[in-house]
Structure 1
Amino acid sequence: MNRETIRSLLTDTGEAVAAEVRRILLNTPLEVRTRVHGHTGSDVIYDIDHEVEGIVVDHISRNARSLGGIVLIAEGIGADEKTVYPTGMPEQDAALRIIIDPIDGTRPIMYDKRSAFFLAGASVNRGESTTLADVEVAVMVEIPTTRAGVSDTLWAHRGSGAYGERIVHATGERQAFRPQPSSNPSIKKGFVQFVRFFNPGKEEIAAIEDALMAKLFPDAEHGESLTFEDQYLSTGGQLYELLTGKDRLVVDVRSALYRKHERTGRRTGHPCHPYDLAACLIASEAGIILTRLSGMPFDAPMDTLSGADWIGYANQSIRNEVESVLTQLLREYDLVP
């Protein structure tokens, strides 16, 4: 695998998507870009999603043959959201498997509220057994609002650390930087997100968070703000906040919660999927600790349909502070065995 060539391809694709989204935001009425184009098994596809699909297909298909063939797994693209390039190549003959979320955070960016992200991860093609743990190259490209003066592109090669570049929109200047998660040893007085931006289940998730804070800080004073919350409606955005030291803990239990709802005959909602975490290698390479709810290292199938629960700790000290208490609470709420 030529990691640098693949990184360049994914970066170029992501930056082309970001440029197209900016063009849409500046030239397309809100009512048009927010229309529902269709539905897939993984999510709603809005018009703004559909508009960038061709960019992804063009970049991947033009480079597939020189890279030995690519199995593309991407939200909204192809039958069952999986296609092989060059067209006609048997899936098992392709050298690479690439998972992409073209716009992670469609809802906030289509309203020009907050940055979305292009997310991508590439691995050797191991067929249906390929997982996110096999990803060797990952890229995330910020898709900024029209008001932003800068935006970031981040990447990682497995075993080589995480890197970033900040683009100054007014001049085109690119400034190199290294992602730096928080080194604070506690979540206290920091930003923490228990993901709950979709119904149903908000009350249950909030109850777990409240119980965690009560157990971790039993001597908190009346009126004291223990942690702060910023619900970022984008898994890529949540990883970005961890990567840039702004958030210290992210907990997403939606998939487990909705499995519980299904067992008890209650309505389920929209969980996190593996493609939302296509670039999770960048977080791991930056030193963020990603786990499943069980505490095992995070992994998920390389697909668009599976549920993906995850916890992101900014550092080991925060994991030591939180994990045992949180795991016990998740057992009490019947979200882990």
Structure 2
Amino acid sequence: MIEPRALIAPLRRIHEEIRAAVVQACEDAAAGDLARVAHEGEGDTIYAVDRVSEERLAALVERELGSFGPIVLVAEGLPGGRVVLPAGRSEAEAALRVLVDPIDGTRGLMYQKRSAWILTGVAPNRGPGTRLRDVVAAVQTEVPLVKQHLADTLWAVRGEGAGAERFNRLTGERTPLRLRPSGAPTIAHGFAMVARFFPGARDELAAIDEEIVAAALGPVRPQYISTGGQLYELMAGHDRFVADLRPLLESVLARRGLALGICCHPYDLATELIAREAGLVVTDHRGAPLDAPLDVEADLAWVGYANQAIRAQVEPLLQAALRRRGLM
């Protein structure tokens, strides 16, 4: 049986190589080059900067995790969304399923507006039925802006809590980092958000946002187009509540003659285990524990609360707003 703790070090090595390659590409290339669309898929848009990490991913995973046995690598950009490593082995033989988002927050990074994140969650292979709740180890690594010399890495093993470290790119120094979700009992005087990244039904999401805030009397922070980044902001105590409800808007969009656009997928939440181990409350829009198949297609609605007190304040308001609109 594989000890989940043994996965953290090789996962961190994978992330650090990808981080170095992506930062180097950002230093060497003009923003316009990295922003070029490399592939337009149903689940997401792949940009040139995504290819920098994707091209290295399979080889790094095979090199670092191959000693644990055959692996099913699940990631955007792979044919069919997954590949078995090493080549020639079958999914049934695999010991692990490794869910990866090589760059979460591509748009912000390629224009050097915000850091991006590398996200990886590892679960025992239970075939196509393997789900997010099966993840036993996860690592989340910041890909910093070129002008930024500090970058954070977070990790967790199920049942053992979360760890974090800050890396200085200039000196190579690594220092322990304590991330602590907000202990405030309310979102008042703090930051909170309902994600509404892209056009189509922003008015409906904004109305839900306004309804919650009006009842709870708390301000809302600007949007952060990175699920890993949103979880980090919650874990760091910067944000107190985040809701990404995009999949629920499919019927609203259909009535307007529009198709549902890009949504959060399981790989965007590959490191949700770290958030839970750090003390966050992460649920689906109905309040149930977040869960999904380990694939690249499923559309996920999720809600994150800094603590149970925030959940008690906001969840009834959120669900009431959704019910009034026939969204749950």
What is the TM-score with the length of structure 1 in the denominator?
A: 0.94
8 Å contact from structure 1 (residues 162, 178) kept in 2: no
Match of 1:117 in 2: 117
Which stretch has the larger CA shift, 303-312 or 54-63? 54-63
Match of 2:92 in 1: 92
Q: Does 1:301 align with 2:328?
A: no
| Aligned equivalents of 2:169, 2:124: Cα separation in 1 | 35
Match of 1:61 in 2: 62
- Which residue identity is paired with 2:16? E
Q: CA deviation at 1:191?
A: 0.6
Match of 1:5 in 2: 6
Match of 1:106 in 2: 106
Q: CA deviation at 1:265?
A: 4.2
RMSD: 1.3
Q: Extract unaligned runs of 5+ from structure 2.
A: none
1:283 pairs, out of 264, 275, 299, with: 275
Q: Extract unaligned runs of 5+ from structure 1.
A: 218-225
Q: Once the two structures are superposed, what CA deviation does each residue of 1:160-212 show, in whole Å capped at 9, x if it has no partner?
A: 00110001222111111232111111001111111012111111111111111
Match of 2:23 in 1: 22
| Aligned equivalents of 2:50, 2:311: Cα separation in 1 | 36
Match of 1:329 in 2: 321
Q: CA deviation at 1:51?
A: 1.8
| Aligned equivalents of 2:326, 2:11: Cα separation in 1 | 39
Q: How does 1:34-53 map to 2 (within 5 A)?
A: 34-53=35-54
- Which residue identity is paired with 1:59? L
| Aligned equivalents of 1:295, 1:215: Cα separation in 2 | 19
Q: Secondary structure at the match of 1:306?
A: coil
| Aligned equivalents of 1:19, 1:64: Cα separation in 2 | 19
| Aligned equivalents of 1:58, 1:259: Cα separation in 2 | 41
Number of positions where the alignment pairs a residue of Structure 1 with one of Structure 2 = 327
8 Å contact from structure 2 (residues 73, 82) kept in 1: yes
8 Å contact from structure 1 (residues 116, 143) kept in 2: yes
8 Å contact from structure 2 (residues 72, 98) kept in 1: yes
8 Å contact from structure 2 (residues 119, 141) kept in 1: yes
| Aligned equivalents of 1:28, 1:191: Cα separation in 2 | 34
Give the percent of matched residue pairs that are identical in Structure 1 and Structure 2. 43
Q: Secondary structure at the match of 1:247?
A: coil
Q: Does 1:239 align with 2:231?
A: yes
Q: CA deviation at 1:30?
A: 1.7
Which stretch has the larger CA shift, 129-138 or 262-271? 262-271
Q: How does 1:125-274 map to 2 (within 5 A)?
A: 125-217=125-217, 226-262=218-254, 265-274=257-266
